């Protein structure tokens, strides 16, 4: 999905960095951390809460995208077509993932802060790659950040130290996958879902939203001018 032009040129590094918000990269890393929590640390409550919170915000994000592509629910003044999935996944997964990797160490708080900082950068990266508007990226960051904040606030992660292999594996995964992973397929899946649910043959698009909004504004101005010109005639 292409946003309206936000930058004249795109720094090439942002294309790699923005991939840290892809579901195909984050969800396997999250699954590994969930399995360690549930099996080795025997902390199934934390695992379930994190999984449930991430599922809920992912569902909300998907609903906003289906609403736009299938049912034309957007807001042109803010260039809003739906919540950014990259920003949402990054903010929902990275802070907790970093916290799990730092379990049992004095670096846990710093790790959480690092996770949120990464999430902010992923959300921002959606602008220079011209994938989302500021409103969409901010909405994803806030929604995902709410989910991870609730998990960290109401779940006491185990004091048991995470094994070194888990942290090393997660680090290698997150560093290497943006360079080698195939293109993300989630956008295409959401578009197909939107068409199937709505019965449309062509998804609604950003430029059509702005075109429709401009036409609506023009119709309103024409109606106001017509009403203004009719008022003196009625007075006579």
Q: Are residues 133 and 234 in the same domain?
A: no
Sign of CA dihedral 72, 75, 78, 83: negative
Q: Are residues 199 and 145 in the same domain?
A: yes
pLDDT at 12: 60
pLDDT at 236: 58
Taking the C-alpha atoms of residue 191 and residue 220, their distance in angstroms, rounded to an integer, is: 32
> Mean pLDDT by 10-residue block, N- to C-terminus, for the chain (236 residues)?
43 81 95 93 92 98 98 97 98 96 91 97 95 97 98 90 88 84 88 96 97 95 81 59
Q: Are residues 133 and 182 in the same domain?
A: yes
83 and 137 Cβ atoms separated by less than 8 Å: no
- What domain range is 180 assigned to? 12-204
In a domain, 88, yes or no: yes
E strands in the chain: none
In a domain, 4, yes or no: no
pLDDT at 10: 45
- Domain count of the fold of the chain: 2
- The position carrying tokens 């803010």 is 78
In a domain, 70, yes or no: yes
Taking the C-alpha atoms of residue 80 and residue 62, their distance in angstroms, rounded to an integer, is: 14
pLDDT at 40: 86
pTM of the model: 0.88
Q: Are residues 128 and 213 in the same domain?
A: no
Backbone angles phi, psi at 75, to 5 degrees: -140, 100
- The position carrying tokens 């594996």 is 169
Q: Are residues 89 and 165 in the same domain?
A: yes
Taking the C-alpha atoms of residue 17 and residue 222, their distance in angstroms, rounded to an integer, is: 47
Q: Which long-range contacts (CB under 8 A, 24 or more apart) does 2-9 make?
A: 2/130, 2/131, 2/206, 3/79, 3/127, 3/130, 3/131, 3/132, 3/133, 3/136, 3/206, 4/79, 4/133, 4/206, 4/210, 5/130, 6/127, 6/128, 6/130, 6/133, 6/134, 7/127, 7/128, 7/130
Q: Are residues 135 and 211 in the same domain?
A: no
């Amino acid at each position: 999905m292409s946003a309206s032009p936000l930058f004249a040129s795109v720094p090439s590094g942002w294309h790699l960095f923005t991939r840290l918000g892809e579901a195909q990269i984050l969800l396997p890393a999250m699954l590994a951390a969930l399995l360690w929590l549930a099996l080795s640390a025997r902390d199934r409550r934390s695992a379930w809460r994190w999984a449930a919170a991430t599922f809920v915000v992912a569902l909300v994000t998907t609903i906003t995208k289906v609403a736009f592509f299938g049912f034309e629910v957007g807001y042109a003044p803010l260039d809003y077509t739906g919540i950014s999935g990259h920003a949402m996944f990054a903010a929902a997964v990275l802070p907790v993932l970093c916290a799990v990797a730092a379990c049992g160490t004095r670096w846990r708080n710093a790790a959480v802060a690092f996770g949120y900082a990464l999430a902010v950068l992923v959300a921002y990266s959606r602008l220079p790659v011209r994938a989302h508007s500021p409103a969409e990226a901010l909405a994803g960051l806030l929604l995902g950040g709410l989910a991870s904040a609730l998990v960290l606030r109401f779940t006491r992660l185990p004091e048991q130290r995470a094994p070194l292999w888990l942290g090393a594996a997660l680090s290698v995964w997150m560093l290497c996958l943006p360079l080698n992973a195939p293109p993300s397929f989630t956008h295409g899946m959401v578009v197909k879902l939107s068409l199937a649910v709505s019965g449309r043959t062509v998804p609604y698009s950003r430029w059509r939203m702005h075109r429709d909004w401009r036409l609506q504004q023009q119709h309103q101005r024409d109606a106001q001018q017509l009403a203004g010109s009719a008022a003196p005639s009625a007075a006579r």
